[in-house]
Structure 1
Protein backbone atom coordinates (compact mmCIF):
# COMPACT_ATOMS: atom_id res chain seq x y z
CA UNK A 1 0.00 0.00 0.00
CA UNK A 2 1.40 3.37 -1.01
CA UNK A 3 1.03 6.23 1.44
CA UNK A 4 2.84 8.82 -0.69
CA UNK A 5 5.01 9.25 -3.79
CA UNK A 6 8.16 11.37 -4.06
CA UNK A 7 9.41 12.42 -7.49
CA UNK A 8 13.16 12.43 -8.06
CA UNK A 9 14.76 15.88 -8.01
CA UNK A 10 18.44 15.04 -7.52
CA UNK A 11 18.57 11.45 -8.80
CA UNK A 12 18.58 10.85 -12.54
CA UNK A 13 17.19 7.31 -12.49
CA UNK A 14 15.79 4.67 -10.12
CA UNK A 15 19.17 3.00 -9.59
CA UNK A 16 20.77 6.26 -8.45
CA UNK A 17 17.81 7.06 -6.17
CA UNK A 18 18.00 3.55 -4.69
CA UNK A 19 21.70 3.96 -3.88
CA UNK A 20 21.17 7.41 -2.34
CA UNK A 21 18.42 6.13 -0.06
CA UNK A 22 20.31 2.90 0.71
CA UNK A 23 23.32 4.92 1.85
CA UNK A 24 21.16 7.21 3.99
CA UNK A 25 18.58 4.86 5.50
CA UNK A 26 20.84 2.50 7.41
CA UNK A 27 20.47 0.80 10.78
CA UNK A 28 23.00 3.27 12.22
CA UNK A 29 21.04 6.33 11.03
CA UNK A 30 17.75 4.88 12.23
CA UNK A 31 19.24 4.00 15.64
CA UNK A 32 19.49 7.69 16.53
CA UNK A 33 15.67 7.72 16.56
CA UNK A 34 15.79 4.88 19.12
CA UNK A 35 14.18 2.46 16.68
CA UNK A 36 15.53 -0.98 15.90
CA UNK A 37 14.85 -2.18 12.38
CA UNK A 38 15.92 -4.91 10.02
CA UNK A 39 16.54 -3.79 6.46
CA UNK A 40 16.34 -5.66 3.19
CA UNK A 41 17.82 -4.03 0.09
CA UNK A 42 16.77 -5.54 -3.26
CA UNK A 43 18.41 -3.51 -6.05
CA UNK A 44 17.26 -5.86 -8.82
CA UNK A 45 13.62 -5.06 -7.99
CA UNK A 46 14.25 -1.50 -6.76
CA UNK A 47 12.84 -2.29 -3.33
CA UNK A 48 13.92 -1.35 0.19
CA UNK A 49 12.01 -2.76 3.14
CA UNK A 50 12.46 -2.15 6.84
CA UNK A 51 10.65 -3.82 9.68
CA UNK A 52 10.76 -3.47 13.41
CA UNK A 53 8.56 -3.78 16.45
CA UNK A 54 5.18 -2.49 15.37
CA UNK A 55 5.99 -1.24 11.87
CA UNK A 56 7.02 -2.09 8.34
CA UNK A 57 8.22 0.35 5.70
CA UNK A 58 8.43 -0.28 1.95
CA UNK A 59 10.06 1.89 -0.68
CA UNK A 60 9.50 0.89 -4.31
CA UNK A 61 11.60 2.78 -6.86
CA UNK A 62 10.11 3.40 -10.30
CA UNK A 63 11.37 5.32 -13.32
CA UNK A 64 10.74 8.82 -11.95
CA UNK A 65 9.59 8.42 -8.34
CA UNK A 66 9.57 6.29 -5.22
CA UNK A 67 6.38 4.91 -3.67
CA UNK A 68 6.54 4.78 0.12
CA UNK A 69 4.26 2.71 2.33
CA UNK A 70 4.17 2.50 6.11
CA UNK A 71 2.21 -0.10 8.05
CA UNK A 72 1.83 0.40 11.80
CA UNK A 73 0.32 -1.63 14.59
CA UNK A 74 -2.81 -0.37 16.28
CA UNK A 75 -0.89 1.32 19.10
CA UNK A 76 1.31 3.30 16.70
CA UNK A 77 -1.43 4.36 14.26
CA UNK A 78 -1.98 7.76 15.96
CA UNK A 79 1.63 8.64 15.04
CA UNK A 80 1.28 7.72 11.36
CA UNK A 81 0.79 11.28 10.07
CA UNK A 82 3.82 12.61 11.90
CA UNK A 83 5.98 9.65 10.88
CA UNK A 84 4.95 9.91 7.22
CA UNK A 85 5.71 13.63 7.24
CA UNK A 86 9.21 13.01 8.58
CA UNK A 87 9.89 10.21 6.11
CA UNK A 88 8.59 12.27 3.18
CA UNK A 89 10.78 15.23 4.16
CA UNK A 90 13.94 13.12 4.46
CA UNK A 91 13.37 11.16 1.24
CA UNK A 92 12.52 14.29 -0.77
CA UNK A 93 15.60 16.08 0.55
CA UNK A 94 17.93 13.33 -0.63
CA UNK A 95 16.51 12.18 -3.95
Structure 2
Protein backbone atom coordinates (compact mmCIF):
# COMPACT_ATOMS: atom_id res chain seq x y z
CA UNK A 1 0.00 0.00 0.00
CA UNK A 2 1.20 3.46 -0.87
CA UNK A 3 -1.17 5.40 1.38
CA UNK A 4 -3.57 4.84 4.29
CA UNK A 5 -6.37 7.28 5.11
CA UNK A 6 -8.33 6.89 8.36
CA UNK A 7 -12.05 7.63 8.39
CA UNK A 8 -13.25 10.88 9.93
CA UNK A 9 -16.80 10.95 8.56
CA UNK A 10 -17.55 7.32 7.70
CA UNK A 11 -18.83 4.89 10.29
CA UNK A 12 -17.63 1.68 8.62
CA UNK A 13 -16.11 0.38 5.39
CA UNK A 14 -19.41 0.27 3.48
CA UNK A 15 -20.33 3.81 4.51
CA UNK A 16 -16.85 4.96 3.44
CA UNK A 17 -17.20 3.08 0.13
CA UNK A 18 -20.57 4.75 -0.54
CA UNK A 19 -19.17 8.20 0.25
CA UNK A 20 -16.14 7.64 -1.96
CA UNK A 21 -18.17 6.23 -4.86
CA UNK A 22 -20.31 9.36 -4.90
CA UNK A 23 -17.14 11.43 -5.46
CA UNK A 24 -14.88 9.16 -7.49
CA UNK A 25 -16.72 9.08 -10.78
CA UNK A 26 -15.61 8.96 -14.42
CA UNK A 27 -16.39 12.69 -14.60
CA UNK A 28 -14.07 13.37 -11.66
CA UNK A 29 -11.26 11.34 -13.25
CA UNK A 30 -11.68 13.27 -16.53
CA UNK A 31 -10.64 16.45 -14.68
CA UNK A 32 -7.13 15.00 -14.66
CA UNK A 33 -7.24 14.68 -18.46
CA UNK A 34 -6.92 10.89 -18.38
CA UNK A 35 -9.31 8.22 -19.47
CA UNK A 36 -9.95 5.48 -16.97
CA UNK A 37 -12.37 2.69 -16.37
CA UNK A 38 -13.55 2.40 -12.79
CA UNK A 39 -14.55 -0.97 -11.36
CA UNK A 40 -16.76 -0.69 -8.28
CA UNK A 41 -17.08 -3.68 -5.91
CA UNK A 42 -19.26 -2.79 -2.93
CA UNK A 43 -19.41 -6.35 -1.55
CA UNK A 44 -15.61 -6.47 -1.53
CA UNK A 45 -15.42 -2.83 -0.38
CA UNK A 46 -12.97 -1.84 -3.09
CA UNK A 47 -12.61 0.27 -6.23
CA UNK A 48 -10.09 0.17 -9.02
CA UNK A 49 -9.44 2.77 -11.70
CA UNK A 50 -7.43 1.60 -14.68
CA UNK A 51 -6.14 3.69 -17.55
CA UNK A 52 -3.24 3.90 -19.94
CA UNK A 53 -0.15 3.49 -17.79
CA UNK A 54 -1.78 3.37 -14.36
CA UNK A 55 -3.91 1.41 -11.92
CA UNK A 56 -5.28 2.97 -8.74
CA UNK A 57 -6.76 0.65 -6.11
CA UNK A 58 -8.79 1.64 -3.06
CA UNK A 59 -9.52 -1.01 -0.42
CA UNK A 60 -11.86 -0.03 2.40
CA UNK A 61 -11.25 -1.68 5.79
CA UNK A 62 -13.31 -1.08 8.93
CA UNK A 63 -11.40 2.07 9.98
CA UNK A 64 -9.27 3.10 7.02
CA UNK A 65 -8.86 3.13 3.26
CA UNK A 66 -5.71 1.62 1.79
CA UNK A 67 -4.55 3.09 -1.50
CA UNK A 68 -2.17 1.47 -3.97
CA UNK A 69 -1.04 2.93 -7.26
CA UNK A 70 0.90 1.34 -10.10
CA UNK A 71 2.35 3.72 -12.68
CA UNK A 72 4.18 3.21 -15.94
CA UNK A 73 7.77 4.36 -16.15
CA UNK A 74 6.57 7.51 -17.94
CA UNK A 75 4.13 8.42 -15.13
CA UNK A 76 6.30 7.47 -12.11
CA UNK A 77 7.56 11.07 -11.60
CA UNK A 78 3.93 12.07 -10.91
CA UNK A 79 3.35 9.51 -8.16
CA UNK A 80 3.72 11.99 -5.29
CA UNK A 81 1.30 14.48 -6.82
CA UNK A 82 -1.24 11.77 -7.62
CA UNK A 83 -1.10 10.34 -4.10
CA UNK A 84 -1.42 13.83 -2.62
CA UNK A 85 -4.54 14.52 -4.72
CA UNK A 86 -6.08 11.16 -3.77
CA UNK A 87 -5.27 11.69 -0.10
CA UNK A 88 -6.82 15.17 -0.07
CA UNK A 89 -9.98 13.93 -1.82
CA UNK A 90 -10.37 10.98 0.55
CA UNK A 91 -9.77 13.08 3.68
CA UNK A 92 -12.51 15.49 2.60
CA UNK A 93 -14.88 12.66 1.70
CA UNK A 94 -14.49 9.83 4.20
Deviation at 1:47?
Answer: 0.8
Give the match for residue 3 of structure 2: 4
Structure 1: gaps (5+ residues): none
The count of corresponding residues between Structure 1 and Structure 2 is 94
Q: Where in structure 2 are there 5+ consecutive unaligned residues?
A: none
Large movers: runs of 4+ above 6 Å: none
Deviation at 1:29, TM superposition (A): 1.3
Partner Cα separation in structure 1 for residue 32 and residue 81 of structure 2: 14
- State the SS of the aligned residue for 2:34: coil
TM alignment of 1:8-87, pairs within 5 A = 8-87=7-86
CA–CA separation in structure 1 for the residues paired with 2:56 and 2:32? 15
What is the TM-score of this pair, normalised by structure 2?
0.97
| Shift, 1:30, TM fit | 1.1
Distance (Å, rounded) in 2 between the aligned partners of 1:17 and 1:60: 10
Two-structure CA RMSD over aligned residues (Å) = 0.6
